[in-house]
Amino acid sequence: MELDRKIIYLKGVGPQKADILAKEFDIHTFGDLLYYFPFRMIDRSHVSKVADFNPEEPYLVFRGRINNLTTVTSGRTTRLEATFNDGTGNLTLVWFQGHKWIRENIRSNVTYNVMGKPTLYGNILQLVHPDIEPVTPESGHITHPFMPIYHTSEKAKNRGFTTRTIARYTETLLGQLTASLPETLPATILVKHHLMGRTSALRNMHYPATLQDWQQAIFRVKFEELFFHQLEYQFSRTNRRNHSTGLIFGIVGDRFNNFYNQNLPFPLTNAQKRVIKEIRSDMRSGRQMNRLLQGDVGSGKTLVALLTMLIALDNGFQACLMAPTEILASQHYASFKKMLNGLNINVELLVGALKAKQKKDIKQRLEDGNINILIGTHALIEDSVKFARLGYVVIDEQHRFGVEQRAKLWQKSTPPPHILVMTATPIPRTLAMTLYADLDCSVIDELPPGRHPVLTVHATDTKRAMLFNFMRQQIAQGRQVYVVYPLINESESLDIKDLMDGYESISRSFPMPQYQLSIVHGQMSAEAKAYEMDRFKRGETHIMVSTTVIEVGVDVPNATVMVIENAERFGLSQLHQLRGRVGRGGEQSYCILMTKDDLNRTSKQRIQTMCNTNDGFVIAEADLRLRGPGDLQGLQQSGMLNLKVADIVDDEPLVRITRDEVYSILEQDPDLNLPENAPLKHYLIKNNDPHQWDKIS
């Protein structure tokens, strides 16, 4: 069977249904349908009696007749009700939508399997939007002991398109599947991990004979999914290592040495030294470096970036640093300028706020090779930005970058520049294994000396007077304070209003001229933001009231208090990021999490986690667990984590197993030339960017 065949060619699928399948389910081909898996199996062989109705049960199957279809209107809602009777008692069936279809299709002389979550409405037993299948002579005998339940959408249901419809299609499709589909996994792997064969697994995903078969099918499908994810990423890494030539930075010269000997603001930590060595050894290996640098907030990643950039310069190349926001880019620019003072190195800043003429001028000088280090935002990847000799790219605080986007940077110059991706959001191990399987990894696991861990406390509004007193004390000691408001959506005027209300109340309690306030939010111009940030940085203002635009990377060592308003509205890693804005100097710092009184359970756990630990990795793991996989959607949408069945939290052991298997396969057969690895090569050719293959095929 051809999996690429258009779904409209499946028996029973007309143009209308094909349209629904495409729009609502993203199912376009036979293969898409085959891989559209049910999320639940209903045991048809176990039929419950209405007399034994138990509202505690999650899902039950009843068998009987449906009568008395009646439309009931109450208030503005209309619902359709029917009486279901199985000889032991009555149930009320309720539909709020899709009435027309029900009326046209339900017959009083037909026996149905009626399935759903039983509920008790007053003392009426009911099933709302039950799943229904007729027990007719054709379908009545139990061909499949389990009925698959598929996710459907409201829109589809309203057009009479239910889980039953999908089940009918998968049944037809599997009926046509007479020969086996090509196996995708190597035989040795199948044997070693006791995996069900592909064809059999796909059948059992939809119509298992036993629950155990279903479980085994799920295991196989998850295995396959994680395995191929690993293969794609790891292959990209080995391929690059073995086949792409990297720039060779053979020397460490004057620029590095002069800076190191004359301008280094403080001795490096051991972790910083180790990481610089790792990068240095990549840079002279003859292979292109693609390295992830993980280090908790404040661990001193910027200095590592700067020092390694100087190596690129010493070898006659340009370097660039890309930051996610203009504020951060400007800040890096300022600190680079300061650190490199007197060393005759040209550093420039390229951000959207510049005038067209300035931009043009910078681009020209860049192309002429007159700029050594360029700092900027995403704008740096634009095609119009051309380097004379780009040798090294550092991406700061950027963990939302997929393989493909990273590849864009490699193409800026040939051979591709070395790349360092720095992130302060510690990534849980499983996530790192999955998202960054194509990168080598370095970790700064040590903070610069003399840091006191930030003290974190939780408070509610009743403590506001105390909070303000505390802020006054700190300011009297010469310290500065951040007050941060959540910003869920930049355009939401409500968020801005919160911020403005807060700002006003703070202004009243901290009057001028004794106290100077800064305010920064997303609706200000980049210039105005930078101006306010500068004032705060120079110590001219005492309190910075802002939305989360300051979240990433802002560095004002004199700030010792971080007040986070409505802290319950922030995610854990965001809270941790914000907290990382203080505790950057030698003084004891504080993080105060202000929340409303009645917190739900997960909010409470988040706040507690923050109060209990400063360890970014502990927080990252907790975050992943608390948010659960459903919330990883941001990642999934960015196309980085395209997992349909596997769950990187629950399936962590499987993530490890597949990673190790792929690793040893590629170690033995890096170009996948062995006959037994042919299916793997085939998969990559089919799914990968074809030009990557030019080099090896």
Name the residues that contact ligand ADP, by CB under 6 A. Answer: 266, 268-269, 272, 295, 297-303, 424, 448, 553, 555, 557, 584
- What is the SS3 assignment for 625? helix
Distance separating alpha carbons of residues 97 and 79, to the nearest angstrom:
7
* Smaller CB separation from ligand ADP, 268 or 526: 268
Q: How far is the CB of 555 from ligand ADP (least distance, A)?
A: 5
* Smaller CB separation from ligand ADP, 134 or 557: 557
Task: Choose the one of ligand ADP, Mg ion, none that binds residue 522, judging by a C-beta under 5 to 8 angstroms depending on kind.
Answer: none
Q: Give exposure, 370-389, as e/b (b: 16+ Cβ within 10 Å).
A: ebbbbbbbbbbbeeebebee
Distance separating alpha carbons of residues 200 and 188, to the nearest angstrom:
17
* Smaller CB separation from Mg ion, 173 or 351: 351
Task: Choose the one of Mg ion, ligand ADP, none that binds residue 555, judging by a C-beta under 5 to 8 angstroms depending on kind.
Answer: ligand ADP
- What is the SS3 assignment for 659? helix
Q: How far is the CB of 558 from ligand ADP (least distance, A)?
A: 10
Which range, of 201-209, 413-421, 545-553, 687-695, touches Mg ion by CB under 5 A?
A: 545-553
Tell me, by CB under 5 A, how many residues bind Mg ion: 1
* Smaller CB separation from ligand ADP, 417 or 553: 553
* Smaller CB separation from Mg ion, 324 or 391: 324
Q: How far is the CB of 600 from ligand ADP (least distance, A)?
A: 31
Task: Choose the one of ligand ADP, Mg ion, none that binds residue 295, judging by a C-beta under 5 to 8 angstroms depending on kind.
Answer: ligand ADP
Task: Choose the one of Mg ion, ligand ADP, none that binds residue 268, judging by a C-beta under 5 to 8 angstroms depending on kind.
Answer: ligand ADP
* Smaller CB separation from Mg ion, 553 or 585: 553
Q: Assess contact for 71 and 80: CB atoms under 8 A.
A: yes
* Smaller CB separation from ligand ADP, 272 or 398: 272
Task: Choose the one of ligand ADP, Mg ion, none that binds residue 208, judging by a C-beta under 5 to 8 angstroms depending on kind.
Answer: none
* Smaller CB separation from ligand ADP, 275 or 354: 275
Q: How far is the CB of 300 from ligand ADP (least distance, A)?
A: 3
Q: Assess contact for 470 and 526: CB atoms under 8 A.
A: no
Which range, of 284-292, 349-357, 549-557, 642-650, touches Mg ion by CB under 5 A?
A: 549-557
Would you tell me how many other CB atoms lie within 10 Å of the CB of residue 536? Answer: 27
Q: How far is the CB of 298 from Mg ion (least distance, A)?
A: 8
First to last CA, the chain: 28
Which range, of 212-220, 548-556, 599-607, 643-651, touches Mg ion by CB under 5 A?
A: 548-556
One-letter amino acid of 523? Q
Provide the token pair at 196: 């069900």
* Smaller CB separation from ligand ADP, 29 or 614: 614
Task: Look up residue 438 and give its DSSP letter.
Answer: T
* Smaller CB separation from Mg ion, 208 or 553: 553
Distance separating alpha carbons of residues 293 and 441, to the nearest angstrom:
6
Q: What is the helix (H) or strand (E) element at residue 609, kind and residue range?
A: helix 601-612
Task: Choose the one of Mg ion, ligand ADP, none that binds residue 234, judging by a C-beta under 5 to 8 angstroms depending on kind.
Answer: none
Alpha helices, DSSP H, located in 388-525: 403-410, 429-435, 464-476, 493-509
Task: Choose the one of ligand ADP, Mg ion, none that binds residue 113, judging by a C-beta under 5 to 8 angstroms depending on kind.
Answer: none
* Smaller CB separation from ligand ADP, 324 or 416: 324
Residues forming a β-bridge with 484 = 546, 564
Task: Look up residue 260 and give its DSSP letter.
Answer: I
Q: How far is the CB of 444 from Mg ion (least distance, A)?
A: 11
User: What burial class does residue 697 get, using C-beta atoms within 10 Å of its C-beta: 0-12 exposed, 13-18 middle, 19+ buried?
Assistant: exposed
Task: Choose the one of Mg ion, ligand ADP, none that binds residue 629, judging by a C-beta under 5 to 8 angstroms depending on kind.
Answer: none
* Smaller CB separation from Mg ion, 226 or 307: 307
Q: Which residue is nearest to Mg ion (CB)?
A: 553
Would you tell me how many other CB atoms lie within 10 Å of the CB of residue 254? Answer: 13
Report strand pairing: 390-396 vs 318-322.
Answer: parallel
Q: How far is the CB of 336 from ligand ADP (least distance, A)?
A: 11
Task: Choose the one of ligand ADP, Mg ion, none that binds residue 391, judging by a C-beta under 5 to 8 angstroms depending on kind.
Answer: none
* Smaller CB separation from Mg ion, 98 or 553: 553
Q: How far is the CB of 437 from ligand ADP (least distance, A)?
A: 23
Q: How far is the CB of 335 from ligand ADP (least distance, A)?
A: 7
Distance separating alpha carbons of residues 349 and 332, to the nearest angstrom:
9
Residues 6+ apart with CB under 8 A from 264: none
Give, in degrees to the nearest 5, the angle at Cα 558 between 553 and 562. 65
Provide the token pair at 451: 């840091």
Give, in degrees to the nearest 5, the angle at Cα 480 between 475 and 483. 110
Distance separating alpha carbons of residues 216 and 208, to the nearest angstrom:
10
Q: How far is the CB of 15 from ligand ADP (least distance, A)?
A: 56
Residues 6+ apart with CB under 8 A from 534: none
Task: Choose the one of Mg ion, ligand ADP, none that binds residue 303, judging by a C-beta under 5 to 8 angstroms depending on kind.
Answer: ligand ADP
Q: How far is the CB of 533 from ligand ADP (least distance, A)?
A: 14
Distance separating alpha carbons of residues 99 and 82, to the nearest angstrom:
11
12: alpha, beta or left? (left if phi > 0; alpha if psi -120 to 50)? left
Q: What is the 3-state secondary structure (H, E, C) of 661-696?
A: HHHHHHHHCCCCCCHHHHHHHHHHHHHCCHHHHHHC
Provide the token pair at 583: 């505790």
Q: Assess contact for 529 and 327: CB atoms under 8 A.
A: yes
Task: Choose the one of Mg ion, ligand ADP, none that binds residue 266, judging by a C-beta under 5 to 8 angstroms depending on kind.
Answer: ligand ADP
Q: How far is the CB of 424 from Mg ion (least distance, A)?
A: 6
Residues 6+ apart with CB under 8 A from 571: 606, 623, 627
Task: Find the binder of Mg ion among 246, 553, 583, 616 (CB under 5 A).
Answer: 553
Distance separating alpha carbons of residues 377 and 385, to the nearest angstrom:
12
Would you tell me how many other CB atoms lie within 10 Å of the CB of residue 68? Answer: 13
Q: Which residue is nearest to ligand ADP (CB)?
A: 300
Q: How far is the CB of 279 from ligand ADP (least distance, A)?
A: 15
Q: Give exposure, 638-658, as e/b (b: 16+ Cβ within 10 Å).
A: eebbebebbbbbebbebbebb
User: What burial class does residue 118 get, using C-beta atoms within 10 Å of its C-beta: 0-12 exposed, 13-18 middle, 19+ buried?
Assistant: buried
Q: How far is the CB of 619 from ligand ADP (least distance, A)?
A: 15
* Smaller CB separation from Mg ion, 162 or 294: 294
Which range, of 276-284, 360-368, 518-526, 550-558, touches Mg ion by CB under 5 A?
A: 550-558
Q: How far is the CB of 305 from ligand ADP (least distance, A)?
A: 8
Task: Choose the one of ligand ADP, Mg ion, none that binds residue 324, judging by a C-beta under 5 to 8 angstroms depending on kind.
Answer: none
Site string for Mg ion, 26-65 (x = CB under 5 A): ----------------------------------------
**Would you count residue 148 as binding Mg ion (CB under 5 A)?**
no
Q: How far is the CB of 557 from Mg ion (least distance, A)?
A: 13
Size (the chain), residues? 697
Residues interacting with Mg ion, by CB under 5 A?
553
